[in-house]
Amino acid sequence: MRRFHVITLVQHSVHGVFKQRSHRLIAVGRMNADLVDQLLGEVNGEISVHMNQYLTWTCEDSPVDSGLQTVYAATMVRTLATCLLAGALLAPAAVTFHKDVLPVLQQQCQGCHRPGEIGPMPFLTYAQTRPWAKAIRDAVASRKMPPWFADPEYKGHFTNERSLTPKQLEILNAWVEAGAPEGNASDAPPPVRFATGWSIGKPDLIVEYPHELEIPATGTMDQGNMLIKVNFPKDVWVSAAEVRPGNARVVHHMKAWIRPPNSPWMKDAPEGEMYKPARAQFAPPEDGPSHGPRPVQDILAKYNPGVNAMEFTNSGAAKFIAAGSDIVFEIHYAPTGKPEKDRSRVGIIFAKDAPVQRYFTTTGINTTSFVIPAGATNHEVRAEAVLQTEAKLAWVQPHMHLRAKDYELIAHYPSGENQVLLKGKFDFNWQLGYEFAKPVVLPKGTRIESIAHYDNSGNNPWNPNPGIEVRYGPQTTDEMSVSFMGFIIGVQDDPLALFPRGRPRQIVE
């Protein structure tokens, strides 16, 4: 009985952009391990420089039927070396900008990296992208870009997921390692046609400030509101909406609210001027129609750095605006050190067909009674609210400030079962909203719990003052723990019946 050797070659990526790949060869006869090591060392010296890859090998010794023709070790080694050096195992197809990289940029990057958007440089053409090739490679390898903070175990749960696939990571890495070649322009896909200034496409209606607001260079500006008397002439359903700051440098955050007819909120406000109302913001209308969808105060759209435009068509839904409604901008400015001006607006696209369900956006969980101790590295804040009627959760956006680290949202069902709906890191500079691919059905009595952690120590590079305790407040140097939520309910259901009239409470353990 002769012996044969099973040689397993393992192909590795220096940057970890693909899983290890194994290749198996068989040699019969004498085995010269030193010669294999020598040849692999020579091959690795080439491919590690040019391809960011390297090989390791293992050998297993097994019996073989004596009728098999002997293949001596020297023959095996020469064959192996020839295969490796010829690239039979390793050589990737040529990766170029137009053929391979541009489709990735169109799908994952250009939504932000185009003129007028939050990305600091455009990635529409080869000339624009080539100077940033290595920076792109490093940013995607470290998962800093594209910004997406949900833990990998929730991959596929959200329609607006921005994380790159392993194949896309490999394409970008191979392109950079090959010297970022341009390739043939005829291989490029058609350019994506973005509506100028709008992510939702051309709006059917634009509501904007009647004039520019002047923002002082310094000081603290309280949050304010601006009433725009749209007085919608008839009931309308909205499929998408988007807030566009006129000057994103000074906008900390902004919401566009639907103010229903007969609402006491902002009743005495002068139109087009910053105003701080005395009445409770969530006061219901003094009276309303006896039939049809109930007019309520509702978040039409909101802006934070990194927040995507809002679409309401999931599960055949749309957002309701009653005849006679107005728009109120809720505005928080942060001075930049020099005088600024701003004239912001909201774009609205109307639904083409009557919806089968209603979309309602609310501050689902918003706790204010917490204190983060000075120097705390992982302070936990919990809050909860109990649904008073069944609803489907379609969207959630955590909102905290500079000391926030991570966020988790859990549904505790009446059956006793629990489900983690979202878990991930938090970045104040990219306050993403997460759109569920399949809205989560939450039965009546479901307890929704949020858990957030904060780093108020000197280890946090964003911390403006590690030496003080921090409480809830509207300024960037204060903190918040808010869960904005988009719910889908029946067309005739009352949105105000979702939660108890009292505000969600903090959990102290």
Question: By three-state DSSP, how is residue 108 classified?
Answer: helix
Q: Please state, as a whole number, how many other Cβ atoms lie within 10 Å of the Cβ of residue 214.
A: 9
Based on its alpha-carbon atoms, the radius of gyration of the chain, rounded to whole angstroms, reads 29
What pLDDT does 495 receive? 93
CA 431 from centre of chain: 8
Amino acid at 366: N
Residue that is written with structure tokens 């369900």 in the block: 357
Report d(CA 333, CA 217) in Å as an integer: 11
Tell me the β-bridge partners of 284: none
Mean pLDDT by groups of 10 residues along the chain of 509 residues: 59 54 53 64 56 63 47 48 48 81 94 85 95 94 88 81 90 93 94 84 95 91 91 97 92 92 90 76 56 83 84 96 96 90 96 96 89 97 95 96 96 97 92 93 97 97 95 90 95 91 46
Give the CB-side neighbour count of residue 137, counting CA atoms within 13 A. Answer: 20
Report d(CA 304, CA 252) in Å as an integer: 7
Instruction: Fill in the DSSP letter of residue 496.
Output: G
Number of H helices, E strands in the chain: 6, 25
What pLDDT does 91 receive? 47
Cα dihedral sign for 178, 182, 183, 189?
A: positive
What pLDDT does 68 receive? 38
Residue that is written with structure tokens 């809720």 in the block: 330
Residues in the chain: 509
Amino acid at 214: E
Q: Nearest-5° angle of CA 182, CA 186, CA 187? A: 70
- CA distance readout (Å), 486 to 360, 393, 430, 444: 6, 6, 19, 16
What pLDDT does 18 receive? 46
Question: By three-state DSSP, how is residue 292 classified?
Answer: coil
Q: Smallest Cα–Cα separation from 458: which of 407, 400, 405, 403?
A: 403
Sheet of 2-13, strand order: 21-28, 2-13, 53-64
Give me 444's structure tokens: 């009546």
Backbone φ and ψ for 382, nearest 5 degrees, come out as -120, 150
What pLDDT does 72 receive? 46
**343 Ramachandran zone, left/alpha/beta (phi>0; psi -120 to 50):** beta
Give me 349's structure tokens: 């696209």
**DSSP labels, 333-362:** E---SS-EEE--EEEEEE-SS--SEEEEEE
What pLDDT does 65 receive? 45
CB 259 within 8 A of CB 294: no
Q: Smallest Cα–Cα separation from 250: which of 305, 211, 293?
A: 305
Report d(CA 52, CA 174) in Å as an integer: 8
Report d(CA 28, CA 69) in Å as an integer: 8
CB 479 within 8 A of CB 404: yes
Report d(CA 258, CA 302) in Å as an integer: 12
